[in-house]
Amino acid sequence: NFLALCATNSYDNTTFHRNMKGFMIQGGDPTGTGKGGESIWGGAIDDEFHPQNRVRIVSMANSGPNTNKQQFFITYAKQPHLNNVYTVFGKYDIEYSHLIPPVIQNVRALNVTIPSTRVIDGFDVLDAMEKAQVDAKFRPLKDIVLRNVTIHANPIADFK
């Protein structure tokens, strides 16, 4: 689902609509409201659980069990209380953090490699995003835009 959404440019020019310092930033909603988005199949996707015991984990956002669609979030810190609650499918890799300038308005931070499920580039961008000012509902006061997503390797394409 996530790879297909990336490959079809579904995340391009979307905004991050919720930003909670020390916790996570959420995006992927094409409406920008936090209420939109669909899976590539149109309906919700079942949960697949993995530990949330590292920083900068990328997970599907949901509204309850087995309601994964298009929205995702990236954690700013370890969130073990989210174990068995959200589907994890990636993580930031600090080794590549120097490759992108810290410019919030040109986020290119979601480059995916699977099966190791690594999200590379943009450590400094994520740190800058965490510092963005928000309103009382944790919505950024200035738009934080995900310009595009690049898939570096698609293992699904190898399964023919």
Tally of structural domains, the chain: 1
Note whether 102 and 111 are within 8 A (CB): no
- How far apart (Å, rounded) are the C-alpha atoms in residues 5 and 15? 15
Looking at residue 157, its pLDDT comes to 56
Two tokens at 33?
Answer: 């409201």
Q: What is the mean pLDDT of each run of 10 residues along the chain (160 residues)?
A: 83 93 91 86 68 67 76 81 59 40 36 37 80 95 86 56
Looking at residue 105, its pLDDT comes to 31
Looking at residue 121, its pLDDT comes to 60
- How far apart (Å, rounded) are the C-alpha atoms in residues 72 and 88? 9
Note whether 73 and 58 are within 8 A (CB): yes
Looking at residue 143, its pLDDT comes to 92
Domain containing 139 — which CATH number?
2.40.100.10
Looking at residue 126, its pLDDT comes to 83
Looking at residue 17, its pLDDT comes to 95
Domain that holds residue 18: 2-158
